[in-house]
């Protein structure tokens, strides 16, 4: 094994489903699907037994049901997955503080400083896999490489696969050696590159580009004309195996939001207002939990035909209480046409800043909402999130 492979990408295998199987061992070996179980839900995680039938994550649940009617469909329990994820994070932190969580089931590690204690990248990968299995009963795949891109592709390559004969176990760990980097990278389809989604893929396909190797051979001008200068340069670098993004632990959030898709399109303005107040309350609660305030409030609406609009406004002083967030969101709502029906509504707050060291302005001290919000948080901490809420939402419940 050559030197300088300090980046690990660790990815739990069908995380949500595997956690459910741990809770109910009778599910083991069966097709299991975790995701939205309503009419408009999508698959969040599918067991390999379900993937044999063609079920994939992000697929509408309705389609998954047709593909695999005998699967067990579950709504999922995010609070519990978060707990398990925290446990895994603790295990990772024993090796290095340089852990960057990407999602509940995924993280990058920079083990440069841990090698004296724990060995080289591949050794640490093996150690982490067995520690996680021992302590949580869960399997994961790990990629070890010189940078994030290659480590990520490594963990992907290490995963179990669905073949013609059923589920084939994966290698568990794939080490991308410096000598074999470009060989390994260039074999991948372009979609494997960070930043190539459906739209960029279409443009690249028009140029006859199918693999990462094809991107690497493309003249810079051609690529930049097709996808834009900044994006083109970025893709070209990635296709050469160059990725200098550092592993960043503790990245502060840039926005906090809540959104909800309705079982049926909503056309009634009054009903939508009630929903927006409820979303705003949820966002404000999380802002306070993180000791954050925000300067921009954004309302997001998706029409029945999937057209999506956003409307945002700047608020001063920065806000973290339900009244202020919902007042801003409702005034944005007042300015939009609801004809055509709304299938999704969302409220988000961005341009966040910590409120711990902020001086309260005179306005805020006089408003009294700070004290009210504190009281709401205290009541919820004792009696549960549903114990108290905005009056319009609670009235709405009994309609």
Asked whether position 67 contacts DNA by CB under 7 A, the answer is: no
Question: C-alpha distances in angstroms, 380 versus 326, 333, 374?
Answer: 19, 28, 10
Asked whether position 346 contacts DNA by CB under 7 A, the answer is: yes
Contact 256, 264 (CB under 8 A): no
**Helix, coil or strand: residue 28:** coil
Give the span between the Cα atoms of 382 and 361, in whole angstroms.
Answer: 30
Which one of 4, 49, 87, 106 is the catalytic residue? 106
Contact residue for DNA among 231, 240, 271, 380 (CB under 7 A): 231
364 carries an active-site annotation: no
Q: How far is the CB of 122 from DNA (least distance, A)?
A: 22
Sequence-distant (≥ 6) Cβ neighbours of residue 295 within 8 angstroms = 314, 315, 316, 318, 319, 350, 351, 352, 353
Give the span between the Cα atoms of 249 and 107, in whole angstroms.
Answer: 10
Candidates 137-145, 163-171, 186-194, 218-226: pick the segment binding DNA (CB under 7 A): 186-194
Q: How far is the CB of 296 from DNA (least distance, A)?
A: 5
Contact residue for DNA among 198, 208, 219, 384 (CB under 7 A): 198
Contact residue for DNA among 253, 264, 383, 385 (CB under 7 A): 253
Kindly tell me which of 350 and 370 has the beta carbon lying closer to DNA.
350
DSSP code at position 248:
-
Candidates 81-89, 207-215, 247-255, 390-398: pick the segment binding DNA (CB under 7 A): 247-255
Give the HSE-up count for residue 112: Cα atoms under 13 Å, Cβ half-sphere. Answer: 7
Asked whether position 220 contacts DNA by CB under 7 A, the answer is: no
Q: What angle do CA 217, 219, 223 make, to 5 degrees?
A: 100
Kindly tell me which of 167 and 336 has the beta carbon lying closer to DNA.
336
Contact 82, 104 (CB under 8 A): yes
List the x/- string, 353-392, binding to DNA by CB under 7 A. Answer: ----------------------------------------
Give the span between the Cα atoms of 104 and 21, in whole angstroms.
Answer: 17
Contact residue for DNA among 255, 327, 367, 370 (CB under 7 A): 255
Asked whether position 350 contacts DNA by CB under 7 A, the answer is: yes
Asked whether position 320 contacts DNA by CB under 7 A, the answer is: no
Q: How far is the CB of 255 from DNA (least distance, A)?
A: 4
| Active site residues per annotation | 106
């Amino acid at each position: 094994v050559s030197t300088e492979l300090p980046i690990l990408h660790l990815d739990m295998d069908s995380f949500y489903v595997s956690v459910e199987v741990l809770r109910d061992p009778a599910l083991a070996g069966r097709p299991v699907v975790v995701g939205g179980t309503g009419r408009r839900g999508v698959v969040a995680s599918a067991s390999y037994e379900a993937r044999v039938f063609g079920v994939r994550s992000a697929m509408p649940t309705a389609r998954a049901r047709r593909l695999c009617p005998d699967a067990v469909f579950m709504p999922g329990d995010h609070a519990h997955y978060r707990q398990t994820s925290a446990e895994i994070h603790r295990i990772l932190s024993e090796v290095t503080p340089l852990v960057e969580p990407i999602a509940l089931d995924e993280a990058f590690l920079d083990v440069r400083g841990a090698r004296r204690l724990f060995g080289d990248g591949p050794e640490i990968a093996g150690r982490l896999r067995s520690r996680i299995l021992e302590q949580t009963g869960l399997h994961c795949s790990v990629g070890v490489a010189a940078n994030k891109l290659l480590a990520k592709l490594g963990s992907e390559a290490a995963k179990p696969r669905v073949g013609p004969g059923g589920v084939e176990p994966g290698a568990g760990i794939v080490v991308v050696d410096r000598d074999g980097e470009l060989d390994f990278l260039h074999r991948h389809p372009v979609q494997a590159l960070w930043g190539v989604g459906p739209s960029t893929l279409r443009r690249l396909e028009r140029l006859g580009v199918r693999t990462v190797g094809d991107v690497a051979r493309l003249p810079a001008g051609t690529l930049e004309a097709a996808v834009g200068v900044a994006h083109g340069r970025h893709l070209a670098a990635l296709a050469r195996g160059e990725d200098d993004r550092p592993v960043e632990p503790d990245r502060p959030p840039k926005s906090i939001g809540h959104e909800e898709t309705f079982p049926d399109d909503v056309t009634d303005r009054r009903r939508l207002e009630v929903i927006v107040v409820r979303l705003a309350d949820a966002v404000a609660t999380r802002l306070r939990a993180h000791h954050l305030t925000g300067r921009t409030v954004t309302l997001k609406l998706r029409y029945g035909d999937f057209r999506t609009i956003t409307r945002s406004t700047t608020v001063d002083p920065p806000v973290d209480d339900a009244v202020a967030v919902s007042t801003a969101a409702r005034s944005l709502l007042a300015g939009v046409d609801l004809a055509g029906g709304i299938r999704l509504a969302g409220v988000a707050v961005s341009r966040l800043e910590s409120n711990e060291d902020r001086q309260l302005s005179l306005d805020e001290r006089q408003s009294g909402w700070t004290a009210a919000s504190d009281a709401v948080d205290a009541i919820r901490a004792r009696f549960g999130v549903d114990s108290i809420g905005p009056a319009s939402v609670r009235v709405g419940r009994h309609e």
